[in-house]
Amino acid sequence: MKIIRTVRGLRLWRKRHSSERLGLGFVPTMGAFHIGHQSLMQRARRSCETVVVSIFVNPLQFGPTEDLGEYPRPRQTDLALCRKEGVDVVFLPSRKEFYPPDFQSSVTVSRLGQHWEGAHRRTHFQGVTTVVTKLFNLVRPHRVYFGQKDYQQFCIIKQMVRDLHQGVDMVMCPTIRESDGLALSSRNGYLSSLARRTAPVLYHALHLGASSIRDGEKSSASVEALMQSYVQKASKAKIDYLAVCHAETLEPLQRAQGRMVLLGAVRLGKVRLIDNVLVKNQK
């Protein structure tokens, strides 16, 4: 496994390496790996000739009061996992290498980035689309792998790829969950033991909402009220949003019909959890 720390090094490697036959698969990450990341690497490994993973805690996607400083950085364990999963190249740039002092560009996806997470974390998605564009420009992948857990992020990057003709195939992989339903996240380690016990409440609420739609509920307001009252009864979590949305535009729906995504975010103490469930109802 090759570890590349510089932009120049990655460019040189990519110039020499043209895995055209089965393609180059790319897994962009911020490290602190869990089984969710591992499943992305495995999926890439199964379908691509070459697998590149990037590990970079991107400062542009953290707000001023967020956890950039504390974000876990277990580099040796992360690299060991990449080795185990047969990754070919790990791109591991420093902050200075990736954002030199005169860096001043950004990429914005306007409409999709305004709702939900975008409304709660104002500069987050611009930071994500900017770093992902830089990574795409350097790695030039054929296929890129993301988890469904960050559903809005996936939709925004997909839109960006389409709008900017970035020519990358986007693969969405299922959310990996603990046995009690909690979606794996590098930030779950911040949960106190009490918060950890109540954390699955978000997934259970979304699941309940999806079941009610499958059972014929057509009013999004009723589905949202059901999910809210579940969270309120089962925990002390503060709800940021629980919404029935169009699966592609992420616009809130009045009528629960067609391809939908139920999006949710709650706060348990200082920890913010997000999750989502896809549901379809053609009736």
Catalytic residues: 37
What Å distances lie between residue 22 and 35, 92, 221, 234, 282, CA to CA? 25, 24, 46, 48, 37
Rg of the Cα trace of the chain? 19
Question: Smallest distance, Å, CB 114 to ligand PAF?
Answer: 18
Distance CA 37, CA 46 (A): 14
Nearest to 245 by CA among 261, 232, 257: 261
Encoded tokens for 33: 């790996």
Binding mask 58-97 for ligand PAF (x = CB under 6 A): x--x------------------------------------
Distance CA 110, CA 106 (A): 12
Instruction: Choose which of 24, 30, 210, 268 interacts with ligand PAF (CB under 6 A).
Output: 30
Instruction: Choose which of 25, 28, 118, 141 interacts with ligand PAF (CB under 6 A).
Output: 28
Interface segment toward ligand PAF; rule CB under 6 A; list 5-13, 22-30, 70-78, 220-228: 22-30
What Å distances lie between residue 250 and 17, 54, 112, 155, CA to CA? 38, 28, 7, 8
Nearer to ligand PAF, 82 or 128 (CB): 128
3-state SS assignment for residue 22: coil
Instruction: Choose which of 78, 85, 88, 150 interacts with ligand PAF (CB under 6 A).
Output: 150
Q: Rounded to 5 degrees, what are φ and ψ at 47?
A: -110, 0
The answer to the question of residue 168 lying near ligand PAF (CB under 6 A) is no
Instruction: Choose which of 81, 90, 132, 262 interacts with ligand PAF (CB under 6 A).
Output: 132
The answer to the question of residue 39 lying near ligand PAF (CB under 6 A) is no
Region 109-128 residues binding ligand PAF, contact defined as CB under 6 A: 128
Tokens 């911040």 locate to: 190
Using CB under 6 A as the criterion, which residues of the chain lie in contact with ligand PAF when the complex forms?
A: 28-30, 58, 61, 128, 131-132, 150, 153
